[in-house]
Amino acid sequence: MSTVAAPKLHKNFINGQWVAPSGGHTYENRNPANTAELVGTFVSSSAADVDAAVDAATEAYKTWRLVPAPKRAEILYRAAEMLLHRKEELSRDMTREMGKVLAETRGDVQEAIDMTYYMAGEGRRLFGQTTPSELPNKFAMSVRQSIGVCGMITPWNFPMAIPSWKMMPALVSGNTVVLKPAEDTPLSSYHLVEVLTAAGLPPGVVNIVSGDGPGAGAPLSTHKKVPVISFTGSTAVGRIIAQAAAPDFKHVSLEMGGKNIIIVMDDANLELAVDGAIWGGFGTTGQRCTAASRVAVHKSVYAEFIRRFVERVKALKVGDGLDPQIEMGPCINEQQLNTVMSYVEIGKQEGAKLLTGGNRLDGGAHGKGWFHAPTVFGDCSAKMRIAQEEIFGPVVSVIPFSTFDEALEIANGVPYGLSASIYTKNVNQAFAAMRDLYTGIVYVNAPTIGAETHLPFGGTKQTGNGHREAAISAIDFFTEWKTLYIDYSDTLQRAQIDNAD
Query: Residue 193 is inside which H or E element, if any?
Result: helix 186-198
Separate counts of helices (H) and strands (E) for the chain = 14, 22
> 97, 194, 289, 380: which is the annotated catalytic residue?
289
**Radius of gyration, CA atoms only, the chain:** 24
Shortest distance in whole angstroms from residue 415 CB to ligand ADP: 16
- 331 counts as catalytic: no
Q: What is the DSSP letter of 290?
A: T
CB distance 169 to 122 below 8 Å = yes
Judged by beta carbon, residue 170 or residue 237, the one nearer ligand ADP is 237
**Separation in Å, CA 408 to CA 113, 217, 403:** 36, 38, 9
Judged by beta carbon, residue 221 or residue 448, the one nearer ligand ADP is 221
Mind giving me the DSSP string for 70-97?
Answer: HHHHHHHHHHHHHHHHTHHHHHHHHHHH
Contact residues for ligand ADP (CB under 6 A)?
Answer: 153-156, 180, 182-183, 212-214, 217-218, 221, 233-234, 237, 240-241
Judged by beta carbon, residue 213 or residue 358, the one nearer ligand ADP is 213
d(CA 197, CA 216): 22
Judged by beta carbon, residue 287 or residue 424, the one nearer ligand ADP is 287
Judged by beta carbon, residue 339 or residue 429, the one nearer ligand ADP is 339
Closest chain position to ligand ADP (CB):
213
The set of residues, in sequence order, having a beta carbon less than 8 Å from that of 249 and lying 6+ positions away, is: none
- 289 counts as catalytic: yes
Strands 261-264 and 251-255: unpaired
Shortest distance in whole angstroms from residue 50 CB to ligand ADP: 11
Cα 454–chain centre separation: 14
In three-state secondary structure terms, 425 is coil
Shortest distance in whole angstroms from residue 458 CB to ligand ADP: 16
252 residue type, one letter: V
> 255, 327, 390, 469: which is the annotated catalytic residue?
255
Shortest distance in whole angstroms from residue 39 CB to ligand ADP: 17
Shortest distance in whole angstroms from residue 222 CB to ligand ADP: 8
Burial class (CB in 10 A: 0-12, 13-18, 19+), 157: buried
Judged by beta carbon, residue 126 or residue 241, the one nearer ligand ADP is 241
Shortest distance in whole angstroms from residue 174 CB to ligand ADP: 25
**Separation in Å, CA 492 to CA 133, 489, 499:** 14, 8, 12
Residues labelled catalytic? 255, 289
